[in-house]
Amino acid sequence: CHEERGIFASLSTEENLRLPPRLARGRGPAMGEAELYAMFPNLAERRASPGMRLSGGEQQMLAVARILRTGADVLLLDEISEGLAPVIVQALARTIIALKRQGFTILMVEQNFRFAAPLADKLYVMEHGTIVESFGAAQLQEKLPVLQELLGV
């Protein structure tokens, strides 16, 4: 799910959701529309709305929902919280937690540390394309001084 979202502006939410085909080698279950609309209720309400009329958060939800429809079991999320209202960011966090519980592998590239850290099992800090720190979620508290220095958090 790349940063630009890739929503087709002239297609409805429902049409955008139906576009991606099932992956030939997808190991995950391809989620149906009812399941996706239950996961993203905003999309159900905006089912007939053109992509260009969706908010940034709704577009992000639609981008994630389209991936889940394919049967992929690995999600690559690039700056998923960028430019979104806090309430939408919280909804996306709840969705990521639910997907992790369902067995999805999620690799997230995110600058919003406060959003990403509670969701992560393993954290990597990159500086100029190089990993400068890595640790498990259980080590987060002890790494806070290092993170303060590196990230200013």
| Structure confidence by residue, pLDDT tens digits, 73-107 | 889 999 989 888 898 899 899 999 999 998 899 99
- Mark out the alpha helices in the chain (DSSP H runs): 13-18, 33-39, 41-45, 56-68, 86-101, 113-116, 140-151
Question: What pLDDT score does 2 carry?
Answer: 63
Residues 6+ apart with CB under 8 A from 136: 121, 122, 123
Average pLDDT over residues 52-71: 89
Average pLDDT over residues 126-139: 92
Mean pLDDT of 105-128: 92
Three-state SS at 131? strand
Q: Across all residues in the chain, what is the average pLDDT?
A: 88
Q: Give the residue, 12 or 33, on which the prediction is more confident.
A: 12
Q: In this structure, are strands 122-127 and 130-136 parallel, antiparallel, or unpaired?
A: antiparallel
